[in-house]
Chain A
Amino acid sequence: MSDSLHTVTALPTERRTGCPFDPPAELLDARRHGPLSGFTHPGGKPGWLITGYDMVRSVLADPRFSSRKDLMNVVDFQLPPAPPGEFLLMDEPEHSRYRKPLVGKFTVRRMRMLTERIEQITADCLDAMEAAGPSADLVTAFAKPIPTIVICEILGVPYADRASFQEQIDTFMGGEVSDEELIAAYTATQEYLAQLVAAKRAHPTDDVLSELTDSDLTDEELRGISLILLAAGFDTTANMLSLGTFALLQNPDQLAALRADPALTDGAVEELLRYLSVAKTFHRTALEDVELDGHTIKAGTTVVLSYNTANRDPDRFADPHTLDLGRQATGHLAFSHGIHQCLGQQLARVEMRVAFRALIDRFPTLRLAVPAAEVRLRPETADIFGVKSLPVTWDAK
């Protein structure tokens, strides 16, 4: 219980120079004052910021906090409800109606069965990278193509359409483009997905989207689901792969340990998830008055949850700012907690385990091609954190 409440007036817009992997100093500082801080949303609306691990986790598990987009009280106009199928921003029972038919398609077992295919996709990317070497931008050669091809296979995007589809999603997610280009790419993606759903309904093929047409979900809902799989699954994984490689290269002793011991791979992926937490902030809105740490979160107030700061909470993870691939990182919040915990996490794990392993095995001399300070980071205001490009080089064989 804290009598003098620490307040943060806006989310920080920058990380400290030289600390590209750490949450901004203001957030780490807020957590040191206590798990809960006063906060003002960009639209001037009062809110709260939660940075302590235990409190973030308990809010995520608490049904008195809503994920609904139309309840989010952060701007001075009313937000629309989430479109059909986009269940990330819905509560029960709508959320379950969409999530339930999907979970059977993303089980640990099914995702492990995809391992071989993901190994092949990764090997193809590495072959191309090596052939064009001995240097590359790891983002375009490795981090983006792997999750894009994987999601194309899940949605059953035909080979002939892949290049143009990849270009579109690349533009509307993380691309540095004008608003007009962004809207155009977004609309094109929506139209493409609508067409794809119709095609799968008419002629089912061997993929998750076709399987889903055999349910009571409408075409519009299936389009929404496809969009959310794409939006939630592509940029997150791509940034974990590129920022993760950057983090490994900046921690040579950890990289050497991982190289030497393949058994470290699964744990290394969990620790990279914790340490980097690229999906860094999400919102929840109180449905009724809720007491937290002696303060009342009033019904209708939106709280900002800082997953990346919570994952650096020293009360939960000893020496939290050290990347320690051998630590027990399970329980991290990089995939969230509660009913919205990442649907694609088992897929993301397989992608990362396969891709990091294959990359470091293929290029034993992999290193940055520019000084670390010159690696261009995404702005802190981006939803998903990461690097814009990662120039790397290696000794040709």
Chain B
Amino acid sequence: MDQSRIRNFSIIAHIDHGKSTLADRLLERTGAISERDMRSQLLDEMDLERERGITIKANAVRIDYDADSGETYELNIIDTPGHVDFSYEVSRSLAACEGALLLVDASQGIEAQTLANAYLAVESGLEIIPVINKIDLPAADPDRVAEEIAAVLGGSPDEAIRVSAKSGEGIDELLHAIVDRLPAPDGDPDGELRALVFDSYYDTYRGVVSLIRVVDGSITKGDAIRLMAHRHDLNADEIGVRRPAMEPTGGLEAGEVGYVITGVKDIDLIRVGDTVTWADVPSEDPLSGYAEPKPMVFSGLFPTDGDDFERLREALDKLRLNDSSLVYQAETSRALGFGFRAGFLGLLHMEIVRERLEREYDLDLVATAPSVQYIAHLTDGTDRNVQSPQDLPESGSLASIDEPYVKVMIITPSEYIGTVMELVQAKRGIMGEMTYLSPERVELHYEMPLAEIVFDFFDQLKSRTRGYASLDYEPSDYRPSDLVRVDILLNGQPVDAFSTIVHKDGAYSYGKAMVKKLRELIPRQLFDVPIQAAIGSRIISRETVKAKRKDVTAKCYGGDITRKRKLLERQKEGKKRMKMVGSVEVPQEAFVAALKINDE
């Protein structure tokens, strides 16, 4: 296809603003798919994604659009992940496009993550078409939303296309705008092959399937290809496009988007962001922007039943087939036994992995409270990465600690500015710029320790703003901080899995709150269970779970021993999700109690 008739674009939208509906409508309008089997095939294919209403993996669908001019255009819709945890993946998807539709709900206005992604698109040189959706809604205020978008992205409010993805109104105008306003790709069709890998996933039957955007040259079935970052040579066994079903095409030319299957099973060989070139006539110049995935949040994963350790390892290995950003290594905890310390891109990524392990692999897990990666400077002049509080060296050998900071953007209705500022300050945030998007909505910038976000920041932000504030953040740098480790002792024994690194000023109140929370969460046992918080050898707080005094049924149900036994067995089953720590039964949620401590 002549590049002048190709348009590659993604849709940037907040959850529920109508991305899937709009994509359906575009496909339907171009006859790519019948309305009936649309939902089932489209975009968000994983169950979890559908449930949470977010896109984790990228996707690309090609449609043919017959313009009024009589010419047929090839449109590639590249779906991007919609969450801050996956910002690297977002950036790679955007790099595969020349344009983006910034889709905003006419009754809601723009949200922080959407805006962050829109900024990213602008920085990557993409042409943006603002699209205001749901204009059919009575509460729609497209004029205000158009003003808001113009205020943050520049340009005129008239540039926004107004649509109802539901009724189809405005879809034709949108298709015209895509053809007229988005630039065509302008790579060198005769140069050496350079194609960007913007997603890779593992398919049980076909091995690794990679989505690519050909920038220069072309790729043909059977080509020997090379992945430039890791210098692997592979064979292009199959090349095709998704419509959205997979359709082999034999090849892809400059400007086109599609998939390549190489028969490899190891996803690490074809990493997102890498450049594909010909193995025999390689390009000298990889496309820019490749980065190794960088875990931001770490958590211990332990099977409740120690015998499940091997099953957990296998499950992690399998998940990794599809997720090269998931890293893990074996870890031993005195309290929890054998498990893994896993690194994640963020909290959502962590939750998704944990949920998939439990659901798809039927594992019963204890996950410890998430931690960030600290850098410990030792008195002997060496540095050490600390991904787990129990790895923090003793204070004697510790010179100082650095912790990761992030740049935070919060968009909130202006009435909540006060409460948001209060919260952020309590979380050691440093105020930066503040911009009014409109008289009612404001964009706030902060620098904050990532550790504070990893705790229950998001929940608190949501609850203080009745769900109206939105949040985005990106890593900035490491800064020295006055940090200490707070240990928790059960029955006089320190429980490593409960240790947390916190700022010195908050350590005392953290210890108190944590001990109190644990007292609520740990059920009464047959003996008193003292719970203590300590910094080093100094106990800063203490509570006791009083011994249970009665745990017996009075009667034997008139000789119905079977019933009695079944009752006991059911009760026992209910205790299965408990982990024995020493002689204390600890429920799984206690290990993330640190996240549930409410500062108020």
Q: Please say whether chains A and B are actual partners in one complex.
A: no
